[in-house]
């Protein structure tokens, strides 16, 4: 099996050392395989629940109190920004 070298920030490395019983190469290998599977399926999006969990409880509380009109405006703005970002790309045939 080929080897790769992986660099991590020093603080992450120190935390990893606290759990020396974990085979970190296996954790990285599984994460890479899962990511490749998602790439091949064309699905790199995270479920909304996972995103909210990553952003924290305070953010989730704020989001749940927002009126629907704010969501609609934000969605339209994001959609327009994405169109502006991608409309100048050319496709190769």
Q: Count of alpha carbons within 13 Å of 49, Cβ hemisphere only?
A: 0
Helix axes 48-55, 57-65, angle to 10 degrees: 120
Residues 6+ apart with CB under 8 A from 54: 46
70 with 77: CB under 8 angstroms?
no
pLDDT tens digits along 12-48: 999 999 999 999 999 999 988 988 887 787 766 777 7
Q: Where are the domains of the chain?
A: 8-45, 46-88
pTM of the entire predicted model: 0.46
Instruction: Report phi then psi at 80, rounded to 5.
Output: -65, -40
Write down the pLDDT at residue 30: 92
């Amino acid at each position: 099996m080929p080897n790769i070298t992986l660099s991590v920030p020093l603080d992450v490395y120190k935390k990893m050392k606290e759990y020396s019983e974990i085979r970190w190469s296996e954790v990285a290998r599984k994460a890479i395989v899962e990511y490749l599977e998602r790439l091949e399926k064309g699905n790199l999006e995270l479920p909304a629940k996972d995103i909210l969990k990553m952003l924290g409880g305070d953010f989730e509380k704020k989001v749940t109190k927002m009126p629907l009109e704010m969501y609609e405006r934000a969605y339209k703005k994001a959609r327009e920004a994405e169109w502006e970002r991608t409309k100048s790309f050319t496709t190769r045939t």
